Amino acid sequence: MTHDDDVLTPTQIDAWLQRAYRPTRSLSTMLSELAASLMHHLPLQALGVATLEVGGFRLRRSAGGLELDSLGATPDPGIDGGTAASPHAGVQDVAPLTYAGVCIGQLSLHWQSGLDASPMPAAGRAHLCARLARLIHRHRVQDWCRPRARATNLLIGVSAALFRFEQFVERAAGSDLPVLLSGEFGTEKSWAAAAIHVGSRRRSGPWVEVHCAHPLEGPEAWLRRAQGGTLFLNGIDELPMPLQLDLLGRWLSLSRPHTTDETPQEGAASVRLMACTTADLREPGAPRVLRALRAELDVLSAEIPAVRERRSDLRFLIEATLDRLDPACGASVDPALLQACQTYDWPENLSELARTVAQLATLADGPVIGPDDVARHAPWLLGPAAGTSEGTIKGTAPGAKAAGWQTVQIASAHPEPSDQAAPTGEPAEGPVGGPLRPLSPSGGSGPTAAPRSAAHWVSIVLERQHRILDTLHAGLRRALLFLSDHYAEPVSLTELSEHAHVSASHLTFLFRNSLGLSFKSFLLCLRIHTAQQLLRDSPLRITEVAMRAGFADLSHFERCFRRAVGQSARDYRRAMSTPP
| Mean pLDDT along residues 82-95 | 58
- Looking at residue 148, the DSSP 8-state letter turns out to be G
Element (H, E) at 318: helix 314-325
pLDDT tens digits along 523-547: 999 999 999 989 988 888 888 899 8
The pLDDT-based confidence of 429 (bands split at 50, 70, 90) is: very low
**Least confident window among 71-85, 211-225, 302-316, 406-420:** 406-420
Residue 324 or residue 197, greater confidence: 197
Residue 88: pLDDT over 50:
no
Average pLDDT, the chain: 77
Identify the residue with better confidence: 263 or 477: 477
Phi, psi of 575, deg, nearest 5:
-65, -35
Nearest alpha-carbon partner for 137 in 125, 129, 147, 148: 129
Position 281 pLDDT exceeds 50: yes
**Can you tell me the mean pLDDT for 262-280?**
71
Query: DSSP labels for 194-213?
Result: HHHHHTSTTTTS-EEEEETT
Q: What is the pTM of this model?
A: 0.65
Asked if residue 379 has pLDDT above 90, the reply is no
CA atoms within 13 Å, Cβ hemisphere of 352:
22
Q: Rg of the chain's alpha carbons, rounded to an integer?
A: 29
pLDDT tier at 427 (50, 70, 90 boundaries)?
very low
Q: How many CB atoms are located within 10 Å of the residue 214 CB? A: 11
CA 342 from centroid of its chain's CA atoms? 16
Q: Are 409 and 506 in contact (CB under 8 A)?
A: no
Q: What gap in Å lies between CA 571 and CA 294, rounded to an integer?
A: 56
Task: Using DSSP, state whether 59 is helix, strand or coil.
Answer: strand
Asked if 107 contacts 48 with a C-beta cutoff of 8 angstroms, the reply is yes
Residue type, 23: P
Report the SS3 class of residue 386: coil
Amino acid at 63: A
Task: Give the mean model confidence (pLDDT) for residues 224-244.
Answer: 92
With b meaning 16 or more CB within 10 Å and e meaning fewer, what string describes 283-299?
Answer: eeebbbbeeebbebbbe
Judged by DSSP in three states, 54 sits in: coil
144 neighbors 152 (Cβ within 8 angstroms):
no
pLDDT the model gives residue 447: 29
Stretch 65-81: mean pLDDT: 59
Percent residues over pLDDT 90 in the chain? 24
